[in-house]
Amino acid sequence: MTTTNPTYRVKRPLTEPEIGDIIAGIERATNSAELLGGALRNILNPLLADIGASIDDFNADHRLRPSDYAIPASQWAAIMDAITGRAAEWGASVQVGLELINVGPATYDDPDVPAPAIAIPDRRPTIHVLRVTREAVDVIGACVRHVADLGRFYGHHSDIHREALTSWHRCVTGLFTMNMGADTHITVDGALSLFVACENGYVYGVIFHGQQRHCTVNGCRATIRDDGTTEPAAHSTPDDHEHQPSYPPGAPQPGYWSVHS
């Protein structure tokens, strides 16, 4: 994150040899912990050297504050991409990326410093295995049909259809990411929802959030069931009017999908 903190202890671009050391450390790493620790050491030690210090000088009683040291945002973005790309071999790109945000140096904008060209070989597994239970296959089919039903009923250019379609496609696309490993298990988490377990241990749900049908008359908070019957809400207006449903009984339920961990 770019900051305007004026009190950096060191603020400068990394030199080409320093970036070379960072790249070499990224390529040598044999696991995600070694990758992260080595990268941070190779990034911060050159800056600390400017004040006659090193990472080894800090401990629990004398803590290092990485935000006291700043490099150009262009350099940091390229380094971040290289580190998280390397972490994909172990399905740890997300964890490593989040940790880098927490413990990396500060950044500042400098248009005169270009992003370094860092080419890290793609070491991701050559195959991403998606294990989908047959029940989950049925749910995926039901989700696709529900999106199609929304388009036919409300119109393919309606906000209802577009919200559902866009959110479903975004969630399905996420199933194919290799940032969390290359062996993904997909099971059922509801009539239109999925449960996803990733190789790195991360689990999440692809959840359908359906709109509850309600009366749109001002002051009425009654919900309306599929059969047209209603359930008055507390503090609602008296039930002396004709309820106006937010969407017709028997119509496909509007809603959207999102990811929840």
Q: Could you report the per-residue pLDDT of 193-235, keeping only the tens digit for each?
A: 999 999 989 999 999 999 999 888 887 878 888 877 787 754 4
Q: What's the confidence (pLDDT) of residue 1? A: 40
Number of residues that this document lists for the chain: 261
Pairwise CA distance, residues 10 & 51, whole Å: 8
Confidence (pTM): 0.76
Q: What's the confidence (pLDDT) of residue 233? A: 56
List CB contacts of 99: < 8 A, sequence separation 6 or more: 36
Residue 234 phi/psi, 5-degree rounding, is -60, 145
Q: What's the confidence (pLDDT) of residue 217? A: 85
Q: What's the confidence (pLDDT) of residue 6? A: 58
Q: What's the confidence (pLDDT) of residue 241? A: 78
Residue 117 has pLDDT above 50, yes or no: yes
pLDDT tens digits along 131-151: 999 999 999 999 999 999 999
Give me the residues paired with residue 215 across strands: 245
**β strands within 86-182, DSSP E:** 106-108, 129-132
- Cα Rg, the chain, nearest whole Å: 26
> Is residue 140 within 8 Å of residue 130, measured between CB atoms?
no
Q: What's the confidence (pLDDT) of residue 2? A: 42
Residue 237 has pLDDT above 70, yes or no: no
Q: What's the confidence (pLDDT) of residue 165? A: 98
Pairwise CA distance, residues 196 & 256, whole Å: 18
Give the pLDDT mean for 106-110. 95
Residue 240 has pLDDT above 80, yes or no: no
The total of other beta-carbon atoms located within 10 Å of residue 138's CB is 12
What is the band of 239 on the pLDDT scale with cuts at 50, 70, 90? low
Give the pLDDT mean for 71-78. 97
pLDDT tens digits along 20-31: 999 999 999 999
On average, the pLDDT of the chain sits at 91
Residues of the chain above pLDDT 90, percent: 77
Question: Distance between the two ends of the chain, CA-based, in angstroms?
Answer: 25
pLDDT tens digits along 167-178: 999 999 999 998
Residue 19 has pLDDT above 70, yes or no: yes
Give me the residues paired with residue 255 across strands: 210
Pairwise CA distance, residues 173 & 156, whole Å: 21
